[in-house]
Every structure is written in C-alpha cells, then in structure tokens.
A and B are shown apart, each in its own frame.
Chain A
Amino acid sequence: MVFGTLDRSASAVELDASVPVYQRVGGVSGNLSAIGSDTLNNLMTLWAEGFGERYPNVNIQIEGKGSATAPPALISGTAQLGPMSRAMKQEELDAFERRFGYRPTAIRVAVDALAIFAHRHNPLEGLTLAEVDGIFSTTRRLGAREDIRDWGQLGLPLWAGRRISLYGRNSASGTYGYFKQYALGKGDFKDNVKEQPGSSAVVQGVSSEEFAMGYAGVGYLTSGVRYVPLGQGGGQYFMPTYENCVSGRYPMSRFLLIYVNKPPGRGLNKLALEFLKFVLSADGQRMVLKDGYYPLPGQVIEEMRRGLTR
C-alpha cells in the first residue's frame, strides 16, 4: 500500500500565508560568497538571482561541491554562507569553535526529502528501511536478514539474477552522510556503490541503466526516473510528499541548512542578513517550491527569522 501521490502542480503545496513578503531595504551592496552543499546548489542560484534583481550592486558567488566543504570555508573565512544538507558534526563544530570561540549558527531554509530513485520502468512497489540497508550497506545495522544484491530478492521474479546497480553521492556530500546515518544506521556503504560527484549525475546514472537504484534529494526528479516509496515495515510505503515529510511518516526527510558565522550577542553583517531574510520570505520560499523542494512551515520561518536578529 502506497500512501501519497505526487502532484507537482503549484497548488499541491501551499505556502503558509503568515510568511511575510520581502521588503527591500537601502544600502545593501558588496560581495557574498557561499561554499557548500551540492543539493542546495540550484536553490542557492535561484535565490542569488532573485536577490540580485532586488539589489543590482550585490555580487553573489556560489560553489557547491558538497556539504563537507562548508565548514572549512566558514572557518577560513572564504565564505560567509555555508549551505549544508546535514547538520555539522561535533568535530566540525569543535574546529569552528577552536578558531572563533563560539559555534556557528544554523538557519533552516527548506525542507528536503532524500529519495530513492529507480529507473522509470522499475515496477517495485516500495522498500522498507531495513531493505534499503541490505541493498546499500555491508554492515546491515538496521537488521536486514541477508545481503540484497539481486532484484529477485526484492520480489521481482522477472528481474531475478539482475544485480542491483547502485549509485550514490561522493563522501563530501551531506546527502551521503545523511543517508549513511538514517538509511544505513551509521553503517558502511558497499564498495560497489558508484560515487557520483553530483546529485544530477546520480539521477542521470539511474536513468541510463534499467537495473539501477540511487539516492539523491527529492528535487532531482527527472522523466527518466521514479521515486521508490519508503516505509518502516508492515507493507505501508510512503511517497516523499510534503505531508508525509512534515508528519515524519516518510522516514528520510530533513531540513536544508545555511550555516553562518554569527558572533553571539552581535548581529550578522547586513548583506548576509538581508539575503537570509529574503530566503525566509514568501518570495524565497516560492523559489524552493520551484526547485522541487518543500517550503518551511510558517512556525519554523518565524523562529528562524527571530534567530537571525537575536
């Protein structure tokens, strides 16, 4: 049984009416640089474009090689914004704190679900997390009874004997880390998971190979691939829809984050502050929808906006 159908039309996900529209302020100019997540790359570009329309004197540079590139960039000061698709590790927080004496501030900017993609002809109904673990990991920490290598083991008799060709992200990516934590129960990937330098390469790989499976952010859906609904067991599978993500029934939803270097008790610099305000406005959140991710619920936006100016 699969719950949730995916409707990509604009009316499918409503933006919270309480989210304010962005108000342009004076005296904003300069350079802003963002280094980090590849998942957030397109979204950052959209935001930068929208922001640039409002402030022609602002120059924003975006580099997205993976979430793990954000902490070093924030620490060395080469970037003011560190987009990440996972929370920072203690180790990264320690390194930041050693340099500045305080911890970086995380701003939630969008809701993403990590989706398992399969070829568009793939007939699979859905997977449990334990099955996902059995497919992708050597350690099987979530309790898969056996190593799943073959489509036949997933109840597709016509595809018996066909090896599941696995695609994933490179280790710099937050998606890689998040998947490892939640889908593999902190276990290890098999050594035959093909590590791709970007999420679009994962989806591209899956769409070019009938017997493939891969994971990437939900926003990377193309016509060549489909989502595999996920569940916790009991024959219930959930599509990565907005409702399923917010309610937590879809097991792999997360917040996308932008980390900033904000000294406690002091405000952010004006440019970064205005950019984040723009991101957390109705205009910015509409772009989130446009890119295939989900907007933040109103209460989270309010909380984040308060955090910005605290």
Chain B
Amino acid sequence: MSARDRKKTPTGGVEVPRSVPDRFIVAPKTLRFDRFMNSAIMFGGIGVIVAVFGIFGFILLEIAPLFESPGIKAERTVSLNALDGAHVGLDEWGEMPFSIVDETEVVFVPTAGGEAVRMIPDVGQSRAVSLRRWDADTFRLLLGTENGEVGFVEVGHVAEYSGGGVRSIEPEIDVWPWVKLGEGRVTDVHFADAGGLKLFAGLLNSGDETRLVVRSLTQEKTLMGFGDIREGEAKDLSVLLAGSRPKRLLVTSTADSLLVLTQDDEVLYLFRDGDDWELRQKFRPFGEGYRVAGMHFLFGEVSLVFFDELGNIRIHSLFVPEGGHERLFGLTKELRPLKEPILEYRASQRGKSFVVSNEREAALCYATTELVRRRFDLSFDAVSMTLDARGERLGFLDKQGDLHLFDIHDPHPEAGWKSLFARVWYEGYPGPRYIWQSTGGTDDFEPKLSLIPLILGSLKGTFYAMLFAVPIALLAAIYTSQFLKPEVKRIVKPSMEIMASLPSVVLGFLGALWLAPLIDDKVPSLMLSILAVPLAAALMGWVWGHVPISLRNRLPKGSEYLLVAPVIGCLVLAGWNLGPSLERWLFVATLADGSHVADFRLWWPEFTGLPYDQRNCLVVGFMMGFAVIPVIFTIAEDALSNVPPSLTSASEALGASRWQVVRTVVLPVASAGIFSALMIGFGRAVGETMIVVMATGNTPLMDASGHLLFGEWGLGNGQFPLADHWNVFDGMRTLSANIAVELPEAAQGSTHYRTLFLGALVLFVMTFALNTVAELLRQRLRERFQIT
C-alpha cells in the first residue's frame, strides 16, 4: 500500500511529510521478492492448470476419431472395357483391377495407366460349362459342366520387388483341376479350403430331379507344411434335403458345414461329423412367405447375411443357444441400408464391414453394431461392384464398362456409443452382452469393446479395498491421535507412513504368490480371525470396566494397548485355528454322488450359485488395503490431532470421559479433514494399477446373462440380488489394470488404442465427479463445524 502511495505523491518540489514512520515502510528488496514470488506462484499455478487441461485435451484428441463418421470419396475412373455380365475384382493395393466374364480370359488393367494384361486360364480340353459362379470373397470363378464336373479359376495378385525395391503388382491365375461329382448337369457349386480338408459341394440336375453331392479332398498337415492331396468319395446328400428343392449352396471355410437355400426360401444347415453328414437346422430367414434374394457370408463365416426383395437385411449367426448343445443359426441383427432393393453384396476381408448396392445407391454397413455407417447415391448405373480385401477401396462397374473407384476411410467402425456402453449381440453368443475382449490372433476376430465390465470392475475393486481399509485406518487414526501415549505415537505414525512407500508392485506380487494360495483353502479361518479383532476389543472393554479403579490407575494413561494387543493376538490365533472346525460344522457341500465334503470352496458355489476363485476380491481388498490404509491414516490422524486442545481440555474439565470427548467434540470438528482423507484414499484405490494387475486374474467378468447390475431387475444368476457382480470370491478387471495390460500391444491409432484412452477418460471423469461432490460435502461440513 505504501509503495503505491509514494508513487502518487505529488512532486511539486515541496517535501511532503510522511504520514507513516520509517520503521513501517517495507524495504524495496522485500517488495521485489514479494512480487517475484507472486508471479512465480501464479505461473506455477497456471502451469498446473494448463498441464491438466493439456493431458485432458490430449486424451480427447485421441478419443475423438472414435466417433467420426466414415468418409467415402470418388477417386478415379478406369476404363476396363468390360463385357456385358462381367465380374470385377480389385487387388488389395488397388493397382490392378480386373474383369472376368467366363473361363476364357481375365483382363487386368493397371489404374496408373499402361497396357492391359490379358491372361488365359488353362482349363484343359474344352468342356460344356453349364454353370459359372463368381465368388467375390475369394476371387474364384466356380465352374460346373453338363456332365457333373466341377472346378474353378482363381484370380490373385502378388507384390514383386525389383532390385531397387520398386514394387509392382503381378497378376496370377490358378486353375483347380476338374473334380467329378457325379452324373448330371451342374446347377450350382461352392468350394472351401480349410487346409487339411477341402470340400466341393454341388447341385446336379438330371431330368426334374436335383441332387446334392459333396466330395472332400484331404491333405495331411505336418509342421513342415502340407502333403499330397487325396480325393475322397463323392457323397450324395439328397436324403437330407427331405424333398425340398435346393437352389444355392455355401460351404463354410472350415469345410465342415454346408448351407443350402431352397426354392421355397428355406435354409438348411448341414453339418459334417466325421464321414457322416446330418441336417442340423432348417429355418426361414425372413419368416413364412417372404422371399430370400441373397445369402452371403460375413467375414469369418460365423454369420450369414440375407436380404429379401424389398431391401431388408437380416443377419443370422451361429451360436449355442441357452441350454443347448449345438451351434445353430439364430437371428441377431436387422438393417435396412438402402431405399431400393439390394442387388450386390461385398464383405471386407479385414473386419465385419460390408457394402451393399443397387444401380443407383450403395451403403457401407458394420455388422457388429448393426449400423449403416454411410449411404450414398451413385451418379452412374452400376452393374457390378467390388471391394478390396482391406475394405478400403470400392469399385463399381457401369454399363459402359468403366470402373469407378472410391476410397473408403472408416478406421473405427467398431467404436460408437452402442458398442462401448450398451449391450451388443456378438457372433457366437446366445444374446446381447457386455463383453471386453479386445484382440484375437486372427483378422476375422470381432473386437468386443464394452467398457461396462471394466467400470464395474473398478468399482468392485475400490469397494472391497475401502471396505477393508476404512475401518482400520480411521479407528487407528482415532486411537493413535486421542488415546495413545505420545511417545508411542511418535513411532507409530512414521512407521505407517513408511508403509505407504511400499511399491505397489511388491504388494501385488505378495498378493499373487503368497497371500492368494495361503488363504485359498483357509477362508473360514480368515473369517474367524477377522471377527476376532472387534470381539477381543469389546471383550477387553467389558472386562476393563469391571476392574477396580485402583488397579486401572496402575496402568499409565495411553498404555492400554499393552493389555489389549495380546488378547487380540490370542483370539485371532484361536480363530485361525478354529477355522477348520467351523468349516466342518457350517460349510459342508454335498457332492453329486451324495457324499459330503467340508470345503468352503465347494460350499460357496453350492450355496450361492456364485463361483469361487483363488484370485478373488478378498486378496485384492487386503493388498489394496495396505496401499490405502497409510494414506487415510496419516491425513485423518493429522486432522484429529489438529483439533485445538482448548476444546478437548474444556470438555474434559467439564467431566466428559475420553471417549465422550472424542465422540462429541473431536470427531465433528475434524470431520472435514477425515472426509478428505477418505477421498484421497478412494482416489488411490480407484487408480491403483499394479496390485490389481498382479493379484487378480484380470477377468472382465459380467453377469453371465449379460444384464447390467440387477440381473433381471432384481436377481442375478445366483440366488442373491446384485451378487453376481459383487461376489467377493471372484476376480475383476479394472480400467487402470486394463490400460496397463493392453496398451503396450495396441497399435498406435487403432480402435483398441483409442478405446483404452477412452477408458482413461472414463476413469478421470469418474474420480473427477466423485471428488467434486466430495469437495462440496466437505465445504459444508467445514462450515457447519467451524470453530469461531
């Protein structure tokens, strides 16, 4: 203040007498230091805020692309001069599209310009080809003849490198030697190659009768590769059709099952068991009376995509129904991507995306999320469509024989609100589920990225850690600050704080290797031991109350623990040793053969219907408790010790007992501080990573029925509400552990990588929201118990 006043002093030459004595004027050095510190602290403070927002912004930037809509843009038009009725194909580099009409010629045209390459497949002596079927997923032109022979021409591309490392795409053509299925005219054929087993399936027409015939080829597989191909016998499966007239065939790439679409729109699912075939299922994809216009595989061949004549799509997937024994097809998804009926369908060979089109429009869809990612109109009349294996480039052949190429940019089709936070009906599951299973060893794996099991896992882990830590830490803090002798307290407090410095990896390691096997078969012992602690304390309290005061006074104030501790120790030990007896008495399980076994691990699943696992919440709760207790203890103890002695002395002077003082004066005054201690402990527990990674199995558990929290609104799979998720004797996977376990493998920029960041954001938002509420509560507590 004075500095400013002096500056304002008028300088009229006349010395104005100072209104304050010299000794009150602050030295300029101090002021400069003051100003410097002011700005330094401000800089630091703003820096912290900027850093926090920076991290927040970085996370948001990583997450944002997950929710972007796909981009599709026209790239170029290549003149293929394709003939009428030609099929087109595109290599995965998008450099050598080709057109094929029949087995006589394949024409490759480089997109970059240059000579067209014509290749003539060597199909042997000329045959009366009765059927040509283009399999767009494998680039095979399947052929069938008038006298029951089948074969195919396969079109492929290989990348070749010259000495300088320049890449060129070389077209390739492979011809599969003719295989005889039987007598008759081939009306449809399909083929699958599962490595050791290959299968041709065909429809043979003679007169007004159509027969279904399969012929398998086997090839021995060793570690070194494949041996010679042996042709098996042709097998007539017409009996299995039970009179229905087959129209179209699909063989799964495992070569062990066959799908037959009949003339009256029924689908038969035939399954091979050793050498025999059986009819597993018969179903109508669209119900009675509706036509099936198309039947195709989705990549991975676990799902079938059907469309009707109106443009509706239905996806049927193979799964074992609830309580069933075999995998059957069931309707899982419905879509209507186009305005007009669908003519063409192409599936990506890298994921569950597919494209459908007709002459004037096309749509990119994603099967897992049941979404039409993007619908767009075409400015030409499309007669044929192709999608490259990577699902990144789309080509339409128009009536003039030109190929219109489009780029698809849709890097994260798997993400979205629905797949991240809602139930999704994945392939192979009997119903919609919340599942986290992010990676597989193959490309056709369907990523399951629900964050719900992880969020619940985090909550579960925190809950059990707090359940264990809070009573111990708070009671210890109260006892240490209010009852314990100050000399002892000076030892206890620092030792507790040293406990906080135990690295969590060590705790996790101990939990997994020592504690989990130790308490695995000693749960009853553990329960009795835990029960023994408050029991011993209460017992000693009662006894102490009946001891004559003269005797009580012999023990110095604050040294009572010397008496209680041995009793607690003895009772805990007794409880531990009585555990097996309790187990024999209470926890007896009845086995299937009627015999009885006293084993808690058997009794728990039998009694509750919930699983028992060695790496369970008890272990994690214990180990996390070790990390959380010191934090809560130290802060709570500080808050309790800082209650002004004037208050406690006053109450004691008024005749309150030590316990009355604590209960009515110390606790309310320190409540705000204790609350902060709990919140900081909570924060530690939520974010704790290494203990959870090591001591649990990282099992992203969900209620088996796929319901959130309440099972069927009240009951889980077990007999008790909520219990499925909160089962103590089971593991969990937390958000933080998930990031630690999976981030090293996630390719930068992939959906998986970004979803892990989203997990981090969810964790952040969860703690942020909770801390805000807690802070508001704390403020109220502080105002209420303010000492004036």
Q: Which residues of A contact B (CB under 8 A)?
A: 65-66, 68-69, 71-72, 76, 86, 89-92, 94-95, 101-103, 111, 138-141, 143, 145-146, 152, 157, 160-163, 165, 167, 170-172, 174, 176-181, 185-189, 191-197, 201, 204-205, 208-209, 212, 245-248, 253-255, 263-266, 297, 299-300
Contacts and interface: CB of A to CB of B under 8 A. Distances in A.
Contacts of A160: 591-593
Given A171-B745, A177-B441, A208 B319 contact: no
Nearest to B167: A101
Interface stretch (B158-166, B624-632, B661-669): B158-166
Given A89-B441, A171-B741, 4 more contacts: A76-B748, A171-B439, A172-B741, A246-B224
Contact of B165 (A92, A101, A192): A101
A192 B453 contact: no
B327 A141 contact: yes
B165 A195 contact: no
Q: Give chain B's interface secondary structure class.
A: loop
Contacts of A195: 697-699, 733, 741
Contacts of A89: 441-443
B325 A191 contact: no
A44 to B, nearest CB: 17
Interface in B400-457: 426-429, 435-445, 448, 453
Instruction: Select the residue from A86, A140, A174 with max chain B CB neighbours within 10 A.
Output: A140
A207 to B, nearest CB: 9
Nearest to B440: A180
B697 A186 contact: no
A102 B592 contact: no
B745 A208 contact: no
Contacts of A71: 747
A161 B442 contact: no
A190 B589 CA distance: 26
B493 interface: no
Interface in B652-706: 693-694, 696-702
29 contacts: A68-B745, A102-B159, A146-B325, A157-B593, A170-B742, A171-B438, A171-B745, A174-B441, A176-B439, A180-B440, A185-B254, A186-B300, A188-B435, A188-B437, A188-B448, A191-B436, A191-B437, A192-B613, A192-B701, A193-B699, A208-B517, A209-B517, A209-B614, A246-B223, A246-B224, A248-B220, A263-B161, A264-B165, A265-B163
Contacts of A179: 441
A196 to B, nearest CB: 8
Contacts of B435: 188, 191
Interface in B231-248: none
Contacts of B389: 90
B289 interface: no
Contacts of A299: 224
A205 B619 CA distance: 14
Q: Which of A91, A92, A186 has the most CB of B within 10 A?
A: A186
A191 B699 contact: yes
Given A138-B428, A192-B611, A194-B731, A177 B439 contact: yes
B122 interface: no
Nearest to B694: A197
B224 A300 contact: yes
A105 to B, nearest CB: 12
Given A90-B350, A171-B745, A193 B223 contact: no
A188 B428 contact: yes
Interface of B: 92, 159, 161-165, 167, 220-224, 254, 300, 302, 319-320, 325-327, 349-350, 389-390, 426-429, 435-445, 448, 453, 512-513, 516-517, 520, 589, 591-593, 597, 601-602, 605-606, 611-615, 693-694, 696-702, 730-731, 733, 741-742, 744-748
A247 to B, nearest CB: 6
Contacts of A265: 161-165
Contacts of B591: 160-161
A79 to B, nearest CB: 13
Contacts of A255: 223
A181 B745 contact: no
Given A186-B445, A195-B697, A65 B224 contact: no
Contact of A161 (B162, B223, B606, B699): B606
Nearest to A76: B748
Contacts, number: 194
B520 A209 contact: yes
Contacts of A193: 697, 699
A145 B428 CA distance: 15
A26 B567 CA distance: 74
Nearest to A139: B428
Contacts of B441: 86, 89, 174, 176-181, 186
B700 A191 contact: yes
Contacts of A143: 326-327
B697 A177 contact: no
A152 B437 CA distance: 28
Contacts of B319: 139
B614 A165 contact: yes
A201 B513 CA distance: 9
Contacts of A157: 592-593
B327 A69 contact: no
Contacts of A162: 601-602
B161 A264 contact: yes
A163 B697 CA distance: 15
B314 to A, nearest CB: 21
Given A141-B428, A297-B224, A194 B696 contact: yes
B442 A111 contact: no
Contact of B697 (A139, A187, A194, A263): A194
A99 to B, nearest CB: 11
A72 B742 CA distance: 13
Contact of B161 (A102, A145, A146, A152): A102
A66 B436 CA distance: 19
Contacts of A188: 426, 428, 435, 437, 440, 448
A246 B441 CA distance: 22
Contacts of B701: 191-192
B116 to A, nearest CB: 25
Given A161-B606, A172-B744, A246-B223, A91 B611 contact: no
A263 B615 CA distance: 47
Nearest to B697: A194
A92 B438 CA distance: 15
A165 B327 CA distance: 25
A299 B222 CA distance: 14
B697 A167 contact: yes
B443 A187 contact: no
A72 B222 CA distance: 31
A139 B429 contact: yes
Contacts of B698: 170, 194-196
A139 B598 CA distance: 34
A170 B739 CA distance: 12
A247 B300 CA distance: 28
Q: Which 6 A-B pairs have the closest CB atoms?
A: A194-B697, A177-B441, A172-B745, A264-B161, A68-B745, A139-B428
Contacts of A176: 439, 441
A61 to B, nearest CB: 16
A71 B326 CA distance: 38
A192 B438 contact: no
Contact of B320 (A66, A140, A246): A140
A230 to B, nearest CB: 15
Nearest to A201: B512
A71 B750 CA distance: 13
B457 to A, nearest CB: 10
Contact of A245 (B223, B592, B702): B223
A248 B221 contact: yes
A162 B601 CA distance: 8
Contacts of B442: 89, 177, 180-181, 186
Given A139-B319, A176-B441, A161 B448 contact: no
A5 to B, nearest CB: 20
B429 A138 contact: yes
